[in-house]
Amino acid sequence: MNKRPADFAYALSKYLAFYLPGVQGVSENTVLSYRDTFSLFLIFCNKNRGIAPEQLSFQQIDRPLIEDFLAWLETNRSCSVSTRNQRLAALRAFFRYLQTHHPEHLLLCRQIIDIPSKAARQKAMNYLSIDGIALLLSMPDTSKRQGRRDLVLLSLLYDTGARVQEIADVVSSDVRTEFPATIRLSGKGGKVRIVPLSTDMAKLAESYMNELTHTGHVESTKPLFCNRSGQKMTRAGIAYILEKYADMARRASPGALPDTLSPHCLRHSKAMHLLQGGVNLVYIRDLLGHTDLRTTEIYARAESEAKRQALEKASPIKSNSVFPSWTENSGLLSWLQSFGKTEH
């Protein structure tokens, strides 16, 4: 076994700097997410085990250490179960790489890869009604240039069902406003897909791009949406814009929008509206850029649950059961014999 104190640092640096971007071809955002996981892990080892980051070796790592780190994320950093599972997924990916490139650590790798994910309570999907989307899009002040930009930004997020980073990365040459209007989106893992634009969305985008051309702010390789400094918008910046108009919409029509709203909610909304309109799940999968249809099926389940709740409210059937419940102060056999019998 490699006994160099820096063997972990050496393997991790190769994994993040060369293997992920060079061999796996993952996006910069994915690499940064993995980096954050290991940064937290090193902080944990330093604070709770007294191990300096540069001194951590594979001899000091075992399954209990990883499990303690995951528990620390939940208790000390108040991370959600889903965040805890994301960090575990990043660790598993690294140790899968390690077992191939450094087979001397095979046993350690298998022990960590076998750590199970934690079951998380499924949250109700957060999406807006069509009226809610219309209300939100009516908030930007289109008499101002910034308001026109924000209207196109929010409209494009909804119309394409894109992830927020995909919209942030769009450059002018990605948009085709002539019929058939489309937009080129670069998704997870560098996968590219062409998404059609609705007629109204194409007109909005064309007007916006014409305005940029007249003011000298459009170039084929320049981000379509820039902040006041002329730089590409960040995910946080787009989320801020959405929340600003969501607050305005809540004041204009209390109860029309949920208390919390993220850019991903617009993606959910588009998928649900397509499903409610009778669009096939396969088309919705392709639009959203899912690799597996099972991922897209969450919308079908959410739609079924919404229908079930609506039917339940309208049902005249009440839950008063004719079947008696067993209590500890009665014999089980007697209860079984009376089960299903009603008094006349």
- The verdict on whether 264 is a catalytic residue reads yes
- The verdict on whether 163 is a catalytic residue reads yes
- The verdict on whether 145 is a catalytic residue reads no
Q: What is the DSSP letter of 190?
A: G
- Catalytic annotation, pick one of 35, 96, 188, 217: 188
Instruction: Please give the Cα distance from 154 to 265 (Å, whole number).
Output: 11
- Catalytic annotation, pick one of 87, 267, 268, 285: 267
Element (H or E) spanning 75, and its range? helix 63-75
Closest C-alpha among 31, 41, 36, 49 to residue 73: 41
Q: Tell me the DSSP string of 84-118.
A: HHHHHHHHHHHHHHHHHH-GGGHHHHHHHHTPPPP
- The verdict on whether 290 is a catalytic residue reads yes
- The verdict on whether 4 is a catalytic residue reads no
* Token pair recorded at residue 245: 């108009």
Instruction: Please give the Cα distance from 107 to 320 (Å, whole number).
Output: 57
- The verdict on whether 34 is a catalytic residue reads no
- Catalytic annotation, pick one of 105, 163, 268, 270: 163
Paired with 238 in beta bridges are none
Element (H or E) spanning 194, and its range? strand 192-196
Instruction: Please give the Cα distance from 175 to 71 (Å, whole number).
Output: 45
* Token pair recorded at residue 207: 């007007």
Closest C-alpha among 162, 211, 210 to residue 183: 162
Query: Any residues with CB less than 8 A from the CB of 128 and at least 6 apart, and which?
Result: 136, 257, 258, 261, 265, 266, 269
Q: Tell me the DSSP string of 137-185.
A: HT-S-TTSHHHHHHHHHHHHHHHHT--HHHHHT-BGGGEE-SSSPEEEE
- Catalytic annotation, pick one of 63, 217, 222, 264: 264
Distance between alpha carbon 286 and the CA centroid of its chain, in Å? 17
Asked if 32 and 47 touch (Cβ cutoff 8 Å), the reply is: no
- Which residues are identified as catalytic? 163, 188, 264, 267, 290, 299
